[in-house]
Amino acid sequence: MVDADQTFVIVGGGLAGAKAAETLRAEGFTGRVILICDERDHPYERPPLSKGYLLGKEERDSVFVHEPAWYARNDVELHLGQTVDRIDRAAKTVRFGDDGTLVHYDKLLLATGAEPRRLDIPGTDLAGVHHLRRLAHAERLKRVLAALGRDNGHLVIAGAGWIGLEVAAAAREYGAEVTVIEPAATPLHGVLGPELGNVFAELHHAHGVRFRFGVRLTEIVGQDGVVLAARTDDGEEHPAHAVLAAIGAAPRTALAEAAGLELADRAHGGGVVVDERLRTSDPDIHAAGDVAAFPHALFDTRLRVEHWANALNGGPVAARAMLGRDVAYDRVPYFFTDQYDLGMEYSGWAPPGSYDEVVIRGDAGKREFIAFWLREGRVLAGMNVNVWDVTEPVQNLIRSRARVDTDALADPHVPLDGLAS
């Protein structure tokens, strides 16, 4: 039975928000739990949108965090298709919906996520220009890829990050022609650096993807609302029947900013500043998932992480903190990808400039290896490609901060477990 004396409000119906609601009930909270989602679909997970669901290998219902009946069964008041437009911190209320409904909160969680960055070039208003962030985007793109594959059509992708490459792989599996436009010298340059990006370039080359590195889109050309081509700043024109903008995501901070909460600077990825308990500058407001910029002692910096595991783990930590539990969010960042016959898991944080050495264990040419990024002999990050069941020892190496013998690190016959001692 719900005790109406306390009300916890969650703004944002993605994985972080849904897992926070689940955790509140699992931890015995008997007050009102109100979950406000600006999408009309029940809370869902995003990885399938560029992987299994986009490829037609997973059913639509498989993406949802909980079955629809779970929310009523657990006394979670779910408001779908409702936008929160104001937080009044003094009155401790949020305003949402077309009628401006006001609801009081004792604790508030912001799990507003991120939104795709937009191309600022002519032609982005054409019907054939796509983004991929929401389930509706994936449903539309799935139909487009199938049609392109059937008609030998061309897809141009702006951006060789994770979303861009996963959609490129899906498009090729449908049979579409694919050209990827990327300003950097390699795919995934901001994550993997120049040393490992070529592994993914070669993978996609082998499957017929064309890359144009070191250039940017300048215009999308169309007629009668239909995409015909994409132009780049080197003067080239690339045939296109559809264009995907995959140039990253921006944290959805407008609501927090209007409420006067502290925001992180762009050097730390933007987002809402939180402490190790995921509390914002207002102790009654927490933030989790893509929107939260949290301090990480391992890397001695503030991070904003846009991946599935961050939402999966951050939502429950925020919920426990809202309940007054003694918790701290210190997960090692983790993400994964599946492209063609390549499966990969990445743990840690090692952007270009943060490391001084890359060590390879295994055969990168055969795409069966583990890569490690190190600084002063300490492992900052590890990426296992088609090598499995090593995430825990890789993360133990990162957490240990121990100096490692790089020859032993590179030797597949030396157990990883023994290197962290």
Of 247, 277, 292, the position where a domain reaches its end is 247
Q: Are residues 177 and 71 in the same domain?
A: no
Q: Domain for residue 329, yes or no?
A: no
Domain of residue 362, CATH code: 3.30.390.30
Model pLDDT, residue 411: 96
Kindly state whether residues 38 and 90 are assigned to the same domain.
yes
- Domain identity same for 182 and 79: no
Is there a single domain that holds both residue 135 and residue 201? Answer: yes
Same domain, 357 and 368: yes
Is residue 2, in this structure, part of any structural domain at all? no
316 and 392 in a common domain: no
Q: Are residues 160 and 91 in the same domain?
A: no
Residues 243 and 266 in one domain: no
Question: Cα(402)–Cα(65) distance, rounded to whole angstroms?
Answer: 38
Residue pair 124/118 in contact (Cβ under 8 Å)? The answer is yes
pLDDT tens by residue, 273-309: 999 999 999 999 999 999 999 999 899 899 999 999 9
User: What three-state secondary structure class fits 222?
Assistant: strand
Any domain includes 330: no
Q: Tens digits of per-residue pLDDT, 334-366?
A: 999 999 999 999 999 999 999 999 999 999 999
The pair of structure tokens assigned to 7 is 């009300």
Residues 144 and 242 both lie in one domain:
yes
Per-residue pLDDT of the chain (421 residues; tens, 9 = 90+): 566 689 999 999 999 999 999 999 999 999 999 999 999 999 999 999 999 999 999 999 999 999 999 999 999 999 999 999 999 999 999 999 989 999 999 999 999 999 999 999 999 999 999 999 999 999 999 999 999 999 999 999 999 999 999 999 999 999 999 999 999 999 999 999 888 999 999 999 999 999 999 999 999 999 988 999 999 999 999 999 999 999 999 999 999 999 999 999 987 789 999 999 999 999 999 999 999 999 998 998 999 999 999 999 999 999 999 999 999 999 999 999 999 999 999 999 999 999 999 999 999 999 999 999 999 999 999 999 999 999 999 999 999 999 999 999 999 999 998 887 6
Residue 212 lies in a domain: yes
Whether 327 is covered by a domain: the verdict is: no
Number of domains forming the structure of the chain: 3
DSSP codes, 80-146: ET--EEEEETTTTEEEETTTTEEEE-SEEEE---EEEPPP-STTTTSTTEE--SSHHHHHHHHHHHH
3-class DSSP assignment, residue 200: helix
Containing 219, the helix (H) or strand (E) segment is strand 217-223
Same domain, 240 and 270: no
Tell me, yes or no, whether 285 lies in a domain: yes
Question: Which pair of structure tokens corresponds to residue 265?
Answer: 């600077």
Token pair for 321: 């903190």
Among 231, 213, 293, 252, residue whose Cα is nearest residue 133? 252
Q: Which domain holds residue 388?
A: 341-420
Residue 226 sits in a domain of what CATH number?
3.50.50.60
Q: Residue 22 and residue 33: Cα distance in Å, rounded?
A: 10
Strand ranges for 252-291 from DSSP E: 272-273, 285-287
Which of 247, 275, 296 is at the close of a domain? 247
Query: Which residues are registered as beta bridge partners of 99?
Result: none
| Domain end marker among 322, 357, 377 | 322
